[in-house]
Chains A and B, each alone.
Chain A
Amino acid sequence: MINPNKNTEKNVSSKEIETTQENKTKCTHEVAIPEKWLQTLKTKKNEEEIEKELISLNNPPFPENPIKEYKFELDNFQRVSISCLERGESVIVSAHTSSGKTAVAEYAIAQALNSKSRVVYTSPIKALSNQKYRELKDVFGDVGLITGDVSIDTNSSCLVMTTEILRNMLYRGSEIVREVQYIIFDEIHYMKDASRGVVWEEAIILSPKNAKFVFLSATIPNALEFAEWVAQTHNQPCHVVSTETRPVPLRYFLFPSSGDGLYLTLDENNKFYDNNFQKCMDLLHNNDEEQTMIDKKTGFTMSKRRKIMIKSKNDIKNIITILMRKNFGPVIVFSFARKECEAKSILFQNDNFNTEEQSNLVELIFKNAIELLDEKDQKLPQIQLILPILKRGIGIHHSGLLPIIKEVIEILFQEGLIKVLFATETFSMGLNMPAKTVVFNGIRKFDGTCMRSVDSGEFIQMSGRAGRRGLDKSGNVILMVDNHTEPKYLRTLFNGKAKRLNSSFKLGYNMLLKLLRFEDVDLDHIMSRSFWQFQNEKKLPLLNEQCEELEKKIADMQIPNEDQFKNYLETKKQINLIKNKMKYIQNKPLYVLPFLTEGRLIKFKYRDSVEWGFVINFFEKRNRFSNNFNKNKKDQSGKEGNENDLLSKNANQIFVEILIPQKNKINANDPNNKKKDGNGNGNGNGKENEEENENDEKKENGNEDGNKNKSVKRGGYNKERRDVSIPTKDRILCSNILEISTIIMKINLNYRTKKNERRFKDAIEKIKQKYQEDIPILDSIEDLKINDQNFIKYYKQVQILNKILKKHEELTKTEQFGSQLELFQEKQKLNDQLKEIQESIRESENIVMKDQLSNMKKVMKRLGYVNENGLIQTKGRIACEISTGDELLLTELIFSGIFKELDTHQIAAIASCFVEPPRSHEEINLIEKLQKPYEKISEMIEFLGQVFLECRLIENIQKYKEKFSPSLMNIVHAWTNGASFLDISQMTESFEGDCVRSFRRLEELLKQLSVAAKNIGNSELERKFSEATTLMKRDIVFASSLYL
């Protein structure tokens, strides 16, 4: 396998490791070797040695005396990974959750400790870091932990930290960077995360040249691509060891909603049971019909949603009962909504899965844990309510829980004291916490922007929680399906491949400014080393291929008289274009209004088609409610006066009320026929008719108050429904008028009445007869007296173009015209496609995000973060200190002096706008003290939004504004003033866990702001910020983790 791209040429060998022993799993080993590295090798060694080296690279020998001994027998993939590490090279381990990737990481740690180097272990989430720290501390002892919240033994050889911390260290050039031999990235597939993924990329790019990496990943199909990138950026070989096999095989079942049993669809040996699958699908379908039938009988109008909810409530009870009976516990039930988790747990109020002894143990552990808390906090409802549930062996696990509760539940689960755990997706990550059975309660999830079905990658990750190694022969995965589930989708879910690891690189000001601080750091250079750029460059050959293919296709399409076609269509297009311009001028109220007399027959654009109709009236857009037809009619003088005003208006501001005869019919007919429907009856005595009609209507409508306008409206709607041939009244914008005819018909405004309806119809008939197909049109220049210079110019142009068009007329008369035209249009489409591909090729060849980068530089220059030479200025240095909020916005706020007048509490509240608030739709009524400061920051947001808009970095300000929410301000203000967490949780509907998270982030931000204030030399501001930090940091919000 040789990469065709010359820039990233690499030698890659791939092979499958044979399964020699029965209990060992299959795995593949590949290695990416950068060309440059190979060349340096060649300069140093002779051919024989190189040969040896390459063989060893491709088949790394397992060490005779491994540095670390394991209590269990190693899997194949673990052996191969360790062999790679023994060579002192980087390795990516791609395997399922709980298949034992940690063993590989442990070997790397042992190696580093042995050679007196440092090793850094990064994980995506603080909570995971805490868990990992505990685990590694037990194994190695010399382990420290650094997260945003805590730092323990930072001088240890093995440091567990979040990826963000590592990145910050790398930017700072901390001494750890020069001592680290291995950097272990756990859950590297997090790199595709849209908001945080970039952190991994930055960390990898900035890592020291001589460091080696261990990447632990869920199964990803493009691990090799990733390895190639690492190999290229760090000029070192990078191994890929991947295995698809699960340590404990899984069986998949379907559970049709409101069904009564499980249907085995996929067994341990990957055998798909088609008939079971089909049976289940049929059952679902039948159920659906039955259900609706019952509903019809009883007449209940139950919403579908509610029906499903009730059904699924029973379903989950059924499943758990079945599972418990079959001894399939412990069970994890995955839901995708946190509220649902809690709701489900309540269903099991009467069940107890624990023995009394276990219950007591649960209580003991729980009581011990919460003793760490303040007495007040122990009384929090969440804490009080959860204990009885836990005692019965039921648990809940989601991000809305208080961290301490979450940890207690994790511990209880690991101890086997929780038999049924209702969890969200977050539980599928991290520490080894398997169950025998995993139940998916529904497969729809909200991914931040929209509801979607779970993809196979997520499915694989989550079902990985099933099957306890060494305890269960096989794990069970149960999927609850309802009739909305597509059979096709389910099949892909079972057979699906994991998702590719794609770069989600993005630029941030903080990142750019930090890089700019350093001597001769080339921003473009950093960008060009990103995985994003790498992937883009890899796409190039493919794009080139596509491009060539298209070019060939286009060349193959032979059309006779192609040039003529081109001319013909071009001319037509031009005529239309000019005509549009003419229409625009003609439709200026100045010209058109005098002719829009009542009863004038005009042609206009109506919805998506072209219609003929009679003018009733016109009026200005904004007055459409007050200035209705009736009033105008009776108050002629008023209308006149109005008209003069209107003449100066834009065509888009004038509404024309029109009467459309036979609206629905027209749509079906040839447009030419419509003309026949229109007619002019210039003779009727309008005045008389009107009065007469008024009387008619009063009679007809009986008790109705005779409000003509009202009834006309209502009548109009009814008519449409009743009889398609009855005219409709509607309004159009003046700019939609196409043609104005010479015909004026007297219209009876109460055409609705039967008598007048008939009369109207007759009149139309008359017009039809009189004019047949040629309705006389008012000439723009002669009749409308348009003396606009441009208009006359256009007029002449059209005439010329029409002559040209005539020349091509022969073409249209040939038989093949239709098919040829189609062919020609297709060719044009292909041409457009080609242009698009060529554009993306151009983009891939360039440095990624070049435009964005230059726009961001523009912003920074404009706001004074860097000077015209690109050198960092005071403001830029301040922005470097802020990484937990919008750095530019906060810097602007500091420099605008807004914080100067605020007290500590207000400052904390204001800063809370910049941390991600908990999801909520509550109405926020800011307390008085906070209103003014909030207005001020809103102004600043507006200002910055404008700058971004002008530099084309955002599309609209509104979206930018939405990133900041005042929803936490009141709460934070109360908190710094000493409110208890109980009070806080009563002030908001958000989950307690969310509040805690936001508060912790806020404290981090305040710390950064304090440093920033110190940097500008303003001690008062610094004092305020650090005071705010102290006020924030108390009680349960900052209670330390149980793992520490």
Chain B
Amino acid sequence: MNVQVVNLGEVITNENESIRGHGTFQKDGNLVSSVAGIVHRVNKLVSVKPLRSRYHPEVGDVVVGRITEVLRNNWKVDIGARHDAFLGLSAIILPGGVQRRRTSTDEMNMRNFYKEDELISAEIQKINYETFKISLHTRSFKYGKLSDGQFVTVPPMLIKRSKSHYLVLPNGVLLILGCNGFIWLSIPEESELKIKKISNWFISTTTELQELEDEINENSNKSIKDKNMDLETNNFDFYKKKEKMITKEQRLEICRVRNAILALSNSFLPIYPTSIMLVCKKSIEENINPKEMIKQKNMIILTSEVKELIK
């Protein structure tokens, strides 16, 4: 793969035909980069994706965010983008899935749904390019309040886009890979999932890797489906805070995944289920405790396999 990396102010091309996209500007007939990053070309369009920047939202992205303010009829949410995102009162699903207009009573009771400093997962609904207002929505029951888990942030560049960002890893950890680099780790609500100890993972061949990935997909789909079914049939009060019992073992697994993500981030490696699994697996093989995983020398050992894979 031919990757062109440019610095701020560097001339990308002097071809007259190319049209400029994000991260570029025109100067003296040359196309010049306005950020340091990787050049992307789509036909004649040239744009530069910055290596480190705030999150650049796109419609349909799954994000994790923190409520920063409760406004009249929407919540202000920090999703790590250049602008704040907003979650409208009408963009959430009311308990029981009732279809109706939001009243002033609803507006008074907004803190019953989400309070300041709470974490939520949501989807980007639309971006107004005039005012740069980012609107979020919680399209289905799988989005909403996040509790009883751990929060990690990484540069948004590192999150590799995939079909699903709601994942249940084979060791039973629920992983919400927000496209904005905010990651949530917890355990899924349903326990009837296939859970394997990491020591039983086999990832030496590509087919075994594939199997493991399939397992992730299967588990993730099942967990989401269960959640939806549950809420649909029982009119579950979705917004009530529920206490989950998380065992010590589960906590350790969550920690392991968290530190695996940090290790990957430290080496500036892409973060996606496979890379996380490889690091976790390596930590077992090398007999590294979760808490020791983020020691600098360990991080290098742990990510070696991922580096190999990417090459």
| A residues whose Cβ falls under 8 Å from a Cβ of B | 40, 115-118, 157, 172-176, 178-181, 208-211, 517-520, 864, 869-875, 877, 880, 892, 894-897, 900, 1011, 1014-1018, 1021
Contacts and interface: CB of A to CB of B under 8 A. Distances in A.
A520 B23 CA distance: 30
A369 to B, nearest CB: 35
B42 A874 contact: yes
A118 B99 CA distance: 8
Contact of B100 (A179, A880, A896, A900): A179
A875 B123 contact: no
Interface string B12-43: 00000111111110000000000000001011
A897 B19 contact: yes
Nearest to B98: A210
A64 to B, nearest CB: 24
B161 A175 contact: no
Give the interface SS of chain B, mostly helix, strand, loop or mixed.
loop
Given A520-B224, A864-B42, A1017-B47, 13 more contacts: A172-B126, A173-B123, A173-B137, A178-B90, A179-B90, A179-B99, A517-B59, A874-B45, A896-B43, A897-B43, A900-B19, A1016-B22, A1017-B23
Interface stretch (B146-154, B163-171, B190-198, B248-256): B163-171
B47 A1016 contact: yes
B290 interface: no
Contact of B44 (A117, A211, A895): A895
Contacts of A520: 163-164, 166, 221, 224
B9 to A, nearest CB: 18
Contacts of B161: 871
B162 interface: yes
> For this complex, into which size category does the number of interface residues on chain B fall?
35 or more
Contact of A178 (B21, B40, B43, B93): B93
B163 A892 contact: no
B43 A892 contact: yes
A870 B43 contact: no
Interface of B: 17-24, 40, 42-45, 47, 58-60, 62, 88, 90-94, 97-103, 123, 125-126, 129, 137, 139, 161-166, 221, 224, 233
Given A116-B103, A869-B163, A895 B45 contact: yes
29 contacts: A116-B103, A117-B99, A178-B93, A181-B100, A208-B99, A518-B60, A519-B62, A519-B166, A520-B166, A869-B163, A870-B163, A872-B60, A875-B42, A877-B59, A895-B19, A895-B43, A895-B44, A897-B17, A897-B18, A897-B43, A900-B19, A1011-B129, A1015-B129, A1016-B19, A1016-B22, A1017-B24, A1017-B47, A1018-B20, A1018-B21
B97 A210 contact: yes
Nearest to A1013: B19
A157 B224 CA distance: 33
Contacts of B139: 173, 518
A871 B162 contact: yes
Contact of A211 (B93, B99, B137): B99
A871 B22 contact: no
A875 B41 CA distance: 11
A408 B17 CA distance: 51
Contacts of B92: 178
A116 B164 contact: no
B164 A209 contact: no
A892 B47 CA distance: 16
Contacts of B94: 178
Closest 10 interchain pairs by CB?
A1017-B22, A517-B60, A175-B90, A895-B43, A897-B44, A117-B100, A1017-B21, A897-B19, A1014-B129, A179-B101
Contacts of B125: 172-174
B28 to A, nearest CB: 16
Contacts of B129: 1011, 1014-1015
Most buried by B among A116, A520, A871, A1011: A520
Contacts of A1018: 19-21, 45
Contacts of A897: 17-19, 43-45
B47 A869 contact: no
Nearest to B126: A172
Contacts of A894: 45
Given A871-B161, A871-B163, A116 B43 contact: no
B278 to A, nearest CB: 18
Given A179-B90, A1018-B20, A116 B101 contact: yes
Contacts of B60: 517-519, 872
B123 A519 contact: yes
Contacts of A870: 163
